Chains A and B, each alone.
Chain A
Amino acid sequence: MHQFLFLLFGAFCVGGALNLLIQKKTINSALSLIVVMGSLALLYLLLGAEFVAVVQVIIYAGAIMVLYIFVIMLLNAGQEEQEEAAKGSNVAKIFGIPGLFAGGFIGIWVLLKHSPADKGTGFRIGELYGPASDVGMMLFTKYLLAFEVTSILVLIAIMGAVVLARRSQNL
Chain B
Amino acid sequence: MTVPISWYLLLSAFLFACGVTGFLIKRNVITLFMSIELMLNGVNLSFIAFATRLHALDGHIFVFFVMVVAAAEAAVGLAIIISVYRTRETLNVDRVNLLKL
Contact = CB atoms under 8 A, between A and B. Distances in A.
Contact of A118 (B4, B21, B60): B4
A75 B87 CA distance: 12
Given A77-B30, A81-B27, A118-B5, A21 B21 contact: yes
Given A40-B41, A59-B71, A104-B13, A139 B52 contact: no
A96 to B, nearest CB: 10
28 contacts: A2-B2, A6-B8, A17-B18, A17-B38, A20-B18, A20-B34, A26-B30, A33-B34, A33-B37, A43-B45, A46-B3, A49-B51, A52-B60, A52-B63, A55-B64, A56-B44, A68-B33, A77-B28, A104-B17, A105-B14, A123-B2, A135-B60, A160-B76, A160-B79, A161-B75, A163-B79, A165-B78, A167-B86
Interface of B: 1-11, 13-15, 17-19, 21-22, 25-28, 30-31, 33-35, 37-38, 41, 44-45, 48-49, 51-53, 55, 57-58, 60-61, 63-65, 67-76, 78-83, 85-86, 91-92, 94
Interface of A: 1-3, 6, 10, 13-14, 17-18, 20-21, 26, 29-30, 33, 36-37, 40, 43-44, 46-49, 51-52, 55-56, 59-60, 63-64, 67-68, 71-72, 74-75, 77, 80-81, 83, 93, 97, 100-101, 104-105, 108-109, 112-113, 115, 117-124, 129-130, 134-135, 138-139, 142-143, 146, 150, 153-154, 156-158, 160-165, 167
